[in-house]
Amino acid sequence: MYLPRHLAIIMDGNGRWARQRGLPRILGHQQGVEVVRGIVEECSKLGISWLTLYAFSFENWGRPEEEVEALMELLATYLRNEVPTMLKHGIRLNVIGDTGRLPGAVATMLDESVERTRSQTGMVLTLALSYGARDEITRAMRKLASAAARGEVEPEDISEQRIAAQLDTVGLPDPDFLIRTSGEMRISNFLLWQLAYTELYFTETLWPDFSPDQLRQALHEYNRRERRFGLTAEQRSKEGNQEEGGRH
């Protein structure tokens, strides 16, 4: 089976999962963390090289204070419990987003977790935290404009590669496959630049119900997709279809 080299996931539906059970929303997020554990382990076992999870969006700061606080606590607990598992499985932790807005203790714990896993050579797990794609692109443009104002870059030298190099995702390949749970068919300000040619997959399953089995089902669907990158089918088959994905 061809695996996506880089799988990105919008984990959605924790709140609805809880509501359906008459539970507070935070219990949906708690269950969501359990699913994160299982999916991270499954992706690493399958041999996926990059996994990126949309864990907290820029817009999520607008949620009720107690929900934001609870999500921050869940994140801290997740890091405390999971870094040893990451080390065991060779997983390297990475973070994208405007992390300067995170509470100091969480930001410190994140920095330490990234540092502790820095030399791991297996899957790269990227958590998108306080992340919004328009914000990421805006920050990148500011950096390029400053470089131009200092005379370090000429406007005509600004290329797609130069822009990509200023994004938080520098060093990561673009996602090959994006999964969004809970039936919403939106990108919600996630990786807008990087998703240009990504295959999109939407499932009705709410994130707390998403299982390793359903992940494999989604990956089978990825195998049936024909990725053309704007070329004709004939051109792509000459180049060797799906060369971005590793054969496993």
**Site for ligand FPP contains 99 (CB under 6 A):** no
What is the rounded CA–CA span in Å between residue 194 and residue 37?
A: 25
Cα distance between residue 161 and residue 173, in whole Å: 12
Please state the closest distance from residue 126 (CB atom) to ligand FPP, in A: 11
The pair of structure tokens assigned to 92 is 């390297």
DSSP per-residue string spanning 26-47: HHHHHHHHHHHHHHHHHHHHHT
Asked about 60 being catalytic, the answer comes back as yes
- Identify whether 12 is a catalytic site residue: yes
Q: Name residues contacting ligand FPP, limited to 124-163 (CB under 6 A).
A: 127
Q: Which of 7, 12, 39, 51 is the binder for ligand FPP (CB under 6 A)?
A: 12
Q: Are 41 and 75 in contact (CB under 8 A)?
A: no
Residues at the binding site for Mg(2+) are 12, 199
Who's near 248: CB < 8 A, 6+ residues apart? 1, 2, 3, 46, 47
Taking the least distance from each CB to ligand FPP, the nearer of 209 and 244 is 209
Q: How far apart are CA 60 and CA 129, in angstroms?
A: 10
Name the residue number minimizing CB distance to ligand FPP. 15
Rule CB under 6 A: say whether 26 interacts with ligand FPP. no
Angle at 123 (CA atoms; ends 53, 27), nearest 5 degrees: 35
Of the candidate residues 3, 43, 74, 125, the single one contacting ligand FPP (CB under 6 A): 74
Compare residues 36 and 102 and give the one whose CB is closer to ligand FPP: 36
Binding positions? 12-17, 25, 29, 57-59, 61, 63, 180, 186-188, 199
Catalytic residue numbers read 12, 60
In the complex, which residues of this chain contact ligand FPP (CB under 6 A)?
11-16, 29, 32-33, 36, 53, 55-56, 60, 74-75, 78, 127, 207
